[in-house]
Chain A
């Protein structure tokens, strides 16, 4: 019998992303998106999304939005994951003003299985509780069972579906929520 010991990351720090971090955000945003979706999508669609979806202008706009926040998970100085939260009118679907959306939690593939996603997720819950949000919600690609299971394990339930466009391909997100 073999034993695998996955050491949890002990010194992951969470840092709020500021406008001076755009290049780092762009780099980790592209890399994690590529690692997550490249196997299941065409090269053209990926290329288009990586260029448009993570342009410096677009990220600067997102960062400047008063109802959006980004956080890095840092291992030492290195960003190994990130989180994007939306409230109010920054939410990607119309919800209540007292809800909070986890738009993105992404962790570099090399750091999967080390609870980095859990730490980012807990940051989201912390912010939601502090601002007294009624519930936290998110959309997750229906073909991402790893993420769906993660949120189910953390008490989220499906409440709707939503179609989005990746390149010229239509895909479905499952919307999940958790009451606080």
Chain B
């Protein structure tokens, strides 16, 4: 099968992408070392992202032929002091085999357009302290590290 000539297509994810999104989410969980607590199944992706209204997350995918080779998952933070919504970028992942083709840039570009369309004031996210190529990538895009605020969390056990 010759798919090399095919273009990478950036589009919003649809329900039929659930299983392929799940596989990339799982790969990201391995990469970022939280696979032991990863509790997502394909059915959960389908329900949370595509059946629920409003959905718990939105996703943009990079498609090559029949394959999903990159994904970006985000949600909105509707209320901010500036009275404009923010976008929280939850996950960005590109299949290692497809890196170096500006797929991450294209996904981030699509997210930026979405933020503009929804009149958002900001897109924010976190990056693992050890993820040097991630940091470089975000800086190359023109994003800045936030050095004014620290992340805190309070874990709740059931």
Contacts and interface: CB of A to CB of B under 8 A. Distances in A.
Interface of A: 98, 118, 122, 125-126, 129-130, 132, 134, 180
Size class of the contact patch on chain B = 10 to 19
Nearest to A125: B19
B41 interface: yes
Provide the main secondary structure of the chain B interface: helix
A180 B26 CA distance: 17
Interface string B1-45: 100000000000000000110110010000000000000011000
Contacts of A125: 19, 23, 42
Contacts, number: 22
B67 interface: yes
A125 B19 CA distance: 8
Provide the main secondary structure of the chain A interface: helix
Interface string B141-152: 000000000000
A129 B21 CA distance: 10
Contacts of B66: 132, 134, 180
Contact of B23 (A98, A118, A130, A134): A130
Given A125-B19, A129-B20, 10 more contacts: A118-B41, A122-B41, A125-B42, A126-B22, A126-B26, A129-B67, A132-B66, A132-B67, A180-B19, A180-B66
